[in-house]
Amino acid sequence: MDEYSRFVDWDKMDATIQVQDSKELICTDFQEFKQLARQGCWAKNHSLRAKVYLKLIGNIPCRTVTPDANVYRDIVVKIIGKRNAGTLPLPEFVDNSLVPNYCLNAEGIGAVRKIICCIANQFPDISFCPALPSVVALLLHYSKDEAECFEMVCRILACNDPSKRLIDQTFLAFESSCMTFGDLVNKYCQAAHKLMVAVSEDVLEVYSDWQRWLFGELPLVYVTRVFDVFLVEGYKVLYRIALALLKVFHKVRAGQPIESDNVQQDIRAFVRDIAKSVSPEKLLEKAFAIRLFSRKEIQLLHMANEKALQEKGITVKQKSCCTPPVCSLSSPKRQNVHLAVHAENFKSEIVSVKEMRDIWSWIPERFALCQPLLLFTTLEHGCSLNRFYSHSEGHEPTLLVIKTTAKEVCGAYLSTDWSERRRGGNKLSFFGTGECFVFRLQPEVERYEWVIIKHPELAMTTSEPGAKSMQVSTVLSSSSIPSDSSDRLSPFLAARHFNLPSKTASMFMAGSNECIIIGGGDGQALYLDADLNHGRTSHCNTFNNQPLCSENFQISAMEVWGFKDTMNI
């Protein structure tokens, strides 16, 4: 056995893993290193992987004072004493997480608990870190002794590079990452998301398991391949793998009955037995085939979710074992659509409770904590664009729903306050963010993704009387945007939230005293005249060439909905 075999039970390990080959990996180019990690260059060589991990973790920029192996040797006897390592209680911040064995021997299983207890002593600022037991158990495989493992884990926890996020260490960071994952599922795994909404009582509770899938349920041969790439590329890889797992789960379980009280356990069991469905190589291939947001965009989305939680006073997890004091802050639960849209309280002249629940399942996670609030309706407030603005302004986001005289129903989720239209003075100016989307409810349900309007000034021609259709040749679907523009931040979140330059804002919605223009997805665009009596649509490259509604339509009714905060702090 080699020097990295002390804590490994080789009888349980994959027989293809080599033990004694201790060759060095000489590579300095990041792109080459990334490709080697993705290809599993050291996946079959235990000693080589240990040396790669030591090198990668040793290069992580850390705080000036970061506990090392010598610190562990100094404190372990004082902290552990003569207690049985296998029965040591874990600190609260691991949240009763699984401590995976990962083919460790008895000494290794006890060492995991010893190391975690010593980390708790050295990192009093950690308040919530359920992934820690898995990370410690994994790195023990590739450590000469407990002290070396302790030092590697400490370097990961003490990373001070703001652009290199590794492991969540607070409940706020963890919960916002769960909400961010939910947003990504909503965009990239729509079929799976629709299933989760249909069968689960609490969608966010299901998505809050995403880190457990990776660090707890995933078998060792899979999690090591994930960790290989994670150490090179960072946190975004974890989102990719979790999305791929959910896609595979949905594909394999398609058509099979899933009960709402079992969906969480079903996914966990599926991940544990993932080898029956897909190999590690195929899982990584599926993960990297997803055209995910850039790292910067995901960071902005995470910041937005974190900000939403902070504004609601949600920063720590509420203990359920006793009655909390008045000042305690509880954890959020994504409103189940049946709870967010109460059948007895919801009333609309356009959409049914079921249809509003369909819309609610599409909105970003941070607003799913809210309930719909009717702001404007033509039935009560009349067909006045000024009254539409006066009732809608000051609310962000809003939901626009339209019913035509042909009984078509369509609308838009609008992420930005309509007061932003004043920034352009008397000139029609576009604003909005990449979270905007348009949708159709009747005759068929369909959601359309966001687009960028390349030359919005050309849309001014739509205000000419008698125009038969909008000039939306300038509206491009997101799929037509060059994929190599890595230096350009796609317009996902409001620029003013993050002090970003205005050019990063999406041009999705526009309003003046004469008209409203909403650029939808897959080439969909919607134009409403000032009298709010009729409108026009235009479309190109639409899904199955299905338009949002009739090209020219008469408005039967229109409503604007806001989002009512129902959190009790």
Q: Is residue 86 pLDDT above 60, yes or no?
A: yes
Please give the pLDDT value at position 522. Answer: 45
Q: Is residue 215 pLDDT above 60, yes or no?
A: yes
* pLDDT (average), residues 25-53: 84
Instruction: Say what the pTM is.
Output: 0.73
* pLDDT (average), residues 507-518: 83
Please give the pLDDT value at position 523. Answer: 53
Contacts of 97 (CB under 8 A, 6+ apart): 130, 131, 132, 133, 134, 212, 215, 216
Q: Are 244 and 287 in contact (CB under 8 A)?
A: yes
Cis peptide before 133 (omega within 30 of 0): no
Q: Are 504 and 516 in contact (CB under 8 A)?
A: no
Q: What mean pLDDT value characterizes the chain? A: 79
* pLDDT (average), residues 452-456: 38
Identify which of 440, 442, 446, 470 has the alpha carbon closest to the alpha carbon of residue 458.
470
Contacts of 374 (CB under 8 A, 6+ apart): 347, 348, 559, 560, 561, 562
Contacts of 351 (CB under 8 A, 6+ apart): 359, 401, 409, 441, 559
Q: Are 63 and 36 in contact (CB under 8 A)?
A: no
Q: Distance between CA atoms of 350 and 359, rounded to whole angstroms?
A: 13
Please give the pLDDT value at position 528. Answer: 86
pLDDT tens-digit readout, 534-559: 777 765 443 344 667 777 888 899 99
Angle between helices 220-233 and 46-58 (to 10 degrees): 30
